[in-house]
Amino acid sequence: VIGRHSSTTIERYIEFELKRLNIKQEQLVSITTDNGSDIKKATSTLKFGNRISCMAHNLNLVVKHGLCLWKQPNPD
């Protein structure tokens, strides 16, 4: 996606790719995504089926947070 990753832009991009691949929205059962607020909003309309959270991404977040690998917030 070029430009801002807004939910509208992401939704249009998914629709573009489905059309390019000759996949009709009626054929979709689910879509797997990360937990970003923009992607969750883009797929919340159920146009692409039920949204399923990516388990590999979730596991990565659990390990990252469990091992304290995230950046500490700046106190300023």
What per-residue confidence (pLDDT) applies to 70?
64
Dump pLDDT digits (tens) for 10-69.
Answer: 999 999 999 999 999 889 999 999 998 999 999 998 899 999 999 999 998 888 888 876
CB proximity list for 36: less than 8 A, separation 6 or greater: none
What per-residue confidence (pLDDT) applies to 74?
67
Cα–Cα–Cα angle for 60, 61, 66, nearest 5°?
100
- Give the Å distances, CA to CA, from 31 to 13, 54, 66, 68: 14, 9, 27, 30
The pair of structure tokens assigned to 21 is: 């691949």
In this prediction the pTM is 0.73
